[in-house]
Amino acid sequence: MRWRDSAAFTAWLESAYAQRWSERWGGYGGLRVDPEEPGAHRWLTRFGEIRATMCDELPEHIEVRHGDRTYQVAPLVAVELADPRAADLLRRYRRRSTA
């Protein structure tokens, strides 16, 4: 997520009834949802958990098409390098699909 888009992201988080993760309390709630506020970039919304990596410019992307829509997404290798949980999930998937 680009820093310059944080105001729009904050508005979306508020509309999705987001609660921000509190490292101190080990749970959601009690913190402002604005990503510019100090704290983990992790929220629980009515759609599920959202995690963000804030940056000045978005990294290189690939386009994925689903039905009539096209999405710009980070390549899986970039996700694996940046997110240990995603890397574990992909490793388990690859192990099961080759077994």
Spans of the chain below 50 pLDDT: none
What is the layout of strands, in order, in the sheet containing 19-22?
A: 27-28, 19-22, 42-45, 48-51
Domain locations in the chain? Answer: 3-51, 62-98
Q: pTM higher than 0.75 for the full model?
A: no
**For 3-16, b where at least 16 C-beta lie within 10 A, e where not — what string?**
eeebeebbeebeeb
Identify the pLDDT of residue 12: 97
Identify the pLDDT of residue 59: 83
Asked whether the CA dihedral 31, 52, 64, 90 is positive or negative, the reply is negative
Identify the pLDDT of residue 83: 86
Identify the pLDDT of residue 78: 87
Cα(83)–Cα(80) distance, integer angstroms? 6
Identify the pLDDT of residue 38: 94
